[in-house]
Structure 1
Amino acid sequence: MTETPVHKTELKKACINCGAELKYKPGTTSITCDYCGHQEKISIETSTFEELELYPYLKEMGDQRHSEEISMLHCKNCGANQHVEENYKSLHCVYCSMPLILEDAYKEDWILPGAVLPFQIDTQKSFLIFQKWVKGLWWAPNKLKKASLDPQFTKGLYLPYWTFDAHLDADYTGQRGEYYYVTETYRDSKGNTKSRQVRKTRWYPASGHVSGFVDDTLVKASGQRAGRVPSKIARWNLKKLQPFHSSFLAGFVTEKYTIPLKDGHLKSEEVAQGIATSWARSDIGGDTQRVSSISVDLSRETFKHILLPVYVSAYRYNGKEYNFFVNGETGALSGNRPYSFWKIFFAVLGVLIIIGIIVLFAQQAEQLQ
């Protein structure tokens, strides 16, 4: 009988004291037992990230050298694909809060993450941030405020991203603009003659070459929840990235990438085009610039699959889904929210009644005079 191989992203580590599952403790490099408090250091074999060569991988998918099989759960309601590094007896989708059927779990290959930015704040702190935000909402339904009192609605989620590195060379043509001012006379609305300084631009031809290293171009790797994670909280300090270790995932949900590497690379090329144009404008100098044409060449391209942390609180109101996000590193919060029709209705009605009373008293005062 052959032994079934165990993949390292699915290894569960038990506490040596009580046997409970060890989970990652945010803000540390340790896994801990929630029952007896025992902690173990996460042993990271290397302090550097492995940058994978892009084109051999695009051509042959690296012969699966940096891929492995993980168990996935698919939400039939919203389509999110989730991997859970924990033995849940029951689980709800982090995005729409609908139940997931554990018996429907299936195996799927993924490109191993090269790095992970571990959670820096714990679930309790993210819950308090969310709770404080909800309490400050005007016209929020009472059911929402009740839901914000239940921590089970707040889940930690690792989001997948691609990062790309490359050496950039670009040849450009354009124009350098230099400002100068002339005095013009005009008549104002009263017919008086006045003068003013008017800015004009002299244009001179420009061309040249720019080059440099483009480091960690960040491209979202999941399209199934497009637009859900607000851009204003989707900012992380990538200097805090750690070489990937599955222990960082313990106790959290991981979303699998759905945007293929080749599509992510195309997006990174668009970003590189913008960077090259910015470098060209800086190289042209002057007061303003025009870039007529630019030819961009990328070489020595590498990539990583990385995981970045957010907390998600999912809530359903009147049949509609609402999501609230807390950045797992910075604590920044954003989300969409429902409004209570009746609260707004009675508030408007109250204002109208007050206005009516004021008008009535004003009329009575006029009659007495």
Structure 2
Amino acid sequence: MEEQKIQKTELKKACTNCGAELKYKPGTTSINCEYCGHEESIAINENGFQELELYPYLKEMGSQKHSEEISMLHCKNCGANQHVEENYKSLHCVYCGMPLVIEDAYKEDWILPGAVLPFQIDQKKSFIIFKNWVNRLWFAPNKLKKAALDPQFTKGLYLPYWTFDAQLAASYTGQRGEYYYETRRVRNSNGKMVTQQVRKTRWYPASGEISGFVDDTLIKASQQKSGRIPQKIAHWNLQKLQPFNSGFLSGFVTEKYTIPLKEGHLHSKDVARDIAMRWCRQDIGGDTQRVTHMDMQLSEETFKHILLPVYVSAYRYKGKEYNFFINGENGQISGTRPYSAWKIFFAVLFGLTVIALLVYFAG
């Protein structure tokens, strides 16, 4: 039994030509050797994704069904839990840049990912995106521009998410509002009487039932005290998901979920309720709607643990941490940034000098 519990995500494949570690090549379904160029295909499961039944799984959490053991590194500074598919002796946290030592690694179970969205852009292209973004920043410290171009500050990271599927059914009662207009004579600000159209609403009782399939409700599965992924870049095309294969993780860092499945499910029900409310309003029709009561049921609930790609650059400036993020699928970028006090000072000084000269010559 123990022999069957091989740590699949920690198996590293060596190049048959030179013995170096094979790493995933973004935008492909291959792993390759950075030294001699040897390339091998990643086997894609033809059966597709495995959707896990939610409630039976929650009851069996104690037995850790569909789980395996992986090696984890915990950042004591920001709380991120990271799994590394490389033979590093030491490395830095992808979020805050604090040192992590491989000897501090510990074993931990996780729910095996059902799918992964592989990186579509490589690290070289991420540097170009960082460079262009930083060059457009006004009053950025010179050190920031150097940091954005240094490979050691940038890591590819797979983020954990839960996705939930369900059949949704709901009954509702409410009101349908239809607009109509009345003409009134009112006095304007100049004291003149003018004609004005005033919109009013007639309300009619409404009730009914709605149903449909809620597909891939995406719920983030990790959270630390710093380094949270900006909403601006947190949009991926889930049509590009591939059945999980550890080959896609080779050469990248993988973050382990810290938000448990049960809590993620509760968040997904809130999202499902918002969807049901929107469907109810669409069903009511009219110009505006009120839903006074809604009874929602979810059935045939399933879930997946999936991994989604980002590039992260952590940078410290004057004791403060800054993070920059690039969506590893579409290249969207977002981040916080420091300002150079000296650049702002000289810009203000220059502006005041120009104004003073203009006033002098105008006089």
**TM-score band, normalised by shorter chain:** over 0.9
The 5-angstrom pairing of residues 203-214 of structure 1 reads 203-214=203-214
The 5-angstrom pairing of residues 253-292 of structure 1 reads 253-292=253-292
Secondary structure of the structure 2 residue equivalent to 1:232:
helix
The 5-angstrom pairing of residues 286-365 of structure 1 reads 286-363=286-363
Query: For residue 72 of structure 2, what is the aligned residue in structure 1?
Result: 72
The 5-angstrom pairing of residues 80-229 of structure 1 reads 80-224=80-224, 228-229=228-229
8 Å contact 1:162–1:261 — kept in the other structure?
A: yes
Give the deviation of 1:311 after TM superposition.
0.3
Q: Distance in 1 between matches of 2:18 and 2:45?
A: 27
Q: Which amino acid aligns with 1:234?
A: A
Give the deviation of 1:353 after TM superposition.
1.5
Q: Distance in 1 between matches of 2:7 and 2:323?
A: 33
Query: For residue 45 of structure 1, what is the aligned residue in structure 2?
Result: 45
Bigger mean CA deviation after superposition, 331-340 or 57-66: 57-66
8 Å contact 1:56–1:62 — kept in the other structure?
A: no
Give the deviation of 1:89 after TM superposition.
2.7
The two structures have a TM-score, normalised by structure 1, of 0.96
Deviation string 1:205-258 (CA, Å, 9 cap, x unpaired) is: 111110110000000000225672110110000010000000000000000000
Deviation string 1:279-337 (CA, Å, 9 cap, x unpaired) is: 00000011110011111100010000000000001100000000000000000000000
Change in Cα spacing, 1:316 to 1:32, as seen in structure 2 (3 Å) is same
Bigger mean CA deviation after superposition, 57-66 or 76-85: 57-66
Query: For residue 250 of structure 1, what is the aligned residue in structure 2?
Result: 250
**Percentage identity across aligned positions?**
75
Q: Distance in 2 between matches of 1:35 and 1:332?
A: 30
Deviation string 1:177-201 (CA, Å, 9 cap, x unpaired) is: 0011111111122322210211110
Give the deviation of 1:359 after TM superposition.
1.9
Structure 1, unmatched stretches of 5+, are: 364-369
Q: Which amino acid aligns with 2:236?
A: W
Q: Distance in 2 between matches of 1:228 and 1:236?
A: 16
Q: Which amino acid aligns with 1:105?
A: A
Q: Distance in 1 between matches of 2:128 and 2:250?
A: 22
Q: Which amino acid aligns with 1:144?
A: L
Bigger mean CA deviation after superposition, 349-358 or 97-106: 349-358
Q: Distance in 2 between matches of 1:224 and 1:90?
A: 21
Deviation string 1:59-117 (CA, Å, 9 cap, x unpaired) is: 22173220000000111111111000111132111001111011100000000000000
Give the deviation of 1:362 after TM superposition.
2.6
Q: Which amino acid aligns with 1:97?
A: G
Q: Distance in 2 between matches of 1:341 and 1:351?
A: 15
Query: For residue 54 of structure 1, what is the aligned residue in structure 2?
Result: 54
Aligned length: 362
Query: For residue 367 of structure 1, what is the aligned residue in structure 2?
Result: none
Change in Cα spacing, 1:9 to 1:312, as seen in structure 2 (3 Å) is same
Q: Which amino acid aligns with 2:92?
A: H
8 Å contact 2:5–2:68 — kept in the other structure?
A: no
Give the deviation of 1:274 after TM superposition.
0.3
Structure 2, unmatched stretches of 5+, are: none
Q: Distance in 1 between matches of 2:19 and 2:141?
A: 43
Change in Cα spacing, 1:179 to 1:305, as seen in structure 2 (3 Å) is same
Change in Cα spacing, 1:107 to 1:141, as seen in structure 2 (3 Å) is same
Change in Cα spacing, 1:207 to 1:216, as seen in structure 2 (3 Å) is same
Pairwise CA RMSD:
1.4
Bigger mean CA deviation after superposition, 354-363 or 260-269: 354-363
Q: Distance in 2 between matches of 1:110 and 1:174?
A: 44
Q: Distance in 1 between matches of 2:256 and 2:202?
A: 53
Q: Which amino acid aligns with 1:195?
A: T
Secondary structure of the structure 1 residue equivalent to 2:303:
strand
Q: Distance in 2 between matches of 1:226 and 1:358?
A: 47
Bigger mean CA deviation after superposition, 163-172 or 89-98: 89-98
Change in Cα spacing, 1:295 to 1:347, as seen in structure 2 (3 Å) is same
The two structures have a TM-score, normalised by structure 2, of 0.97
Q: Distance in 2 between matches of 1:135 and 1:199?
A: 50
